[in-house]
Chains A and B, each alone.
Chain A
Amino acid sequence: MLTLQFIPYNDINSLTPERRIKKLINVVKENKIVLMQGRLVPEEESTLIERTMEQIKRSNFKGIEICTIYPETDPNLIDKLKSKIANFLLGNREGLTIIGPATVVKEIKKDPDKIQLLTADIKKKPKRR
C-alpha cells in the first residue's frame, strides 16, 4: 500500500530551512510519499541531498526520489508582476514537490508536461511451504 502525505505550504513556511528538511526526511523515512505544496529553493534542495546522504551513511535508509512540478508559463509583464507581489506577500506556493523513499519510488520520470512515478514491487512473495 502506498501512503501519500500532503504537506501544505503553511505547515513548513515558518520553519527554518534545516527544520523543514528534517521534517521532509522524517516523513519519507516512514515510507510515505510527500506531496509538498510549493518548492524548495536550490540551496535547500542541495541541503536535502546532503542530509539524505548523512542518513544513508548512518542507517539502512537508501535515499530519496524527488521531483518538482512548476508552471513553466511565459506570462506577460503584468502577470509576472502580480505573481511576484503575491509570492512576496504570501510566499511562493506555486508548484508541487514530490519526495518518495527510494525503496518505494524506483524512479520519477519527468517530461515537461507529465510525471510518472515508477514504484517498486512491494507485494510480498508467498512463503514456500
Chain B
Amino acid sequence: MIKILKSFIDRIFFQIFQRKRDLKIGLYGPPNGGKSTLANKICKDWLGEEMSSVSKIPHETREIRIKEKVTVKSGNKELTFNLVDTPGIATKIDYEDFMKKGLKVKEAKKRAKEATKGVIDAIKWLDEMDVVIVVLDSTENPYSQVNVTIVGNLAARKIPVVIVANKTDLRKSSVKKVEAAFPQYDVVGISALNGNNIEEFYESLFNRVR
C-alpha cells in the first residue's frame, strides 16, 4: 500500500516538474510574418545569440528549430522554456514564386519541396506546444484562412495563445485590424526587428503561461 502511494506521489511530482522543465513555446503563423525575427529578438535579448536565419524570400525556415532553456525575466518574474521556431503555414507553395525572387530552378524546386515538408511538420508539432505565439504581419489582411485555421486549431486544443501583430515599424501596419479580426484574444503590436513594445509582449507571454 505504501509502495503504491509512494509511486503515485513520485509520478505526480515527476509530471509537475517534467512539464515545467519541458515547457514549450511555439512561434506559429503564415510565412514572412516575422516568426524567426521574433525568435532571434528573444534569443538575443536573453541568450545573447540568434537562433534562425531570416530572409525576404518566403519559407526561409523549413524545419523546426528549438532553442532550449531560454530564461525570460519581466519585473520580478522569471520564465524558462524551450523556444520552438516553426516553418510558416501556407495552403499553396509554387517553386515559380521563388524563381521570381531570384532563385534558380533547381534551388527553387528544392526550397518548395522542403517547404511542403515544413508545413506538415509545423502542424504535427502543434500538439507538443504548451503556449503558442501567433506571429502575424500587421501590414497584411488578418482575415486569411491560414490565420483562422491556426487560431482555430489552438482553441480546439485548448493551447494558450498570444497574437503578435508584427511589423509595427512599417507605415501600412494596423494593429487595430488584427485586434478586430481576433477580438477574443490578447493582441500585442510589436516590431520584432527594432524591439518596439517588446516589454508588453513579454508581459503578455507571462500572463498566458501562468
Contacts and interface: CB of A to CB of B under 8 A. Distances in A.
B93 interface: yes
29 contacts: A42-B149, A42-B155, A45-B149, A46-B123, A46-B153, A49-B91, A49-B146, A50-B119, A50-B123, A50-B124, A53-B116, A53-B117, A53-B119, A56-B116, A62-B92, A62-B93, A63-B90, A63-B94, A64-B91, A65-B91, A65-B92, A66-B145, A67-B145, A108-B145, A109-B141, A110-B141, A110-B143, A110-B144, A111-B143
A62 B94 contact: yes
A114 to B, nearest CB: 10
A68 B148 contact: yes
Contacts of A18: none
Nearest to B118: A53
A102 B149 CA distance: 18
A54 B123 CA distance: 13
Interface in A51-89: 52-54, 56-57, 62-68
A52 B149 CA distance: 14
From B120, B146, B155, name the one whose CB has the most chain A CB atoms within 10 angstroms: B120
Chain A facing B: main interface SS:
mixed
Interface string B102-136: 00000000001100110110011010000000000
Contacts of B143: 110-112
A42 B144 CA distance: 14
Contacts of A57: 113, 116-117
Given A46-B126, A57-B117, A68 B145 contact: yes
B117 A49 contact: no
Nearest to B144: A110
B98 to A, nearest CB: 12
Contacts of A112: 143, 180
Given A56-B112, A110-B145, A112-B143, A42 B152 contact: yes
Nearest to B114: A57
A45 B92 contact: no
Given A46-B153, A63-B90, 6 more contacts: A41-B156, A52-B91, A53-B116, A57-B117, A63-B93, A112-B180
Interface string B76-110: 00000000000001111110000000000000000
A63 B152 contact: no
Contacts of A11: none
Nearest to A108: B145
Contacts of A30: none
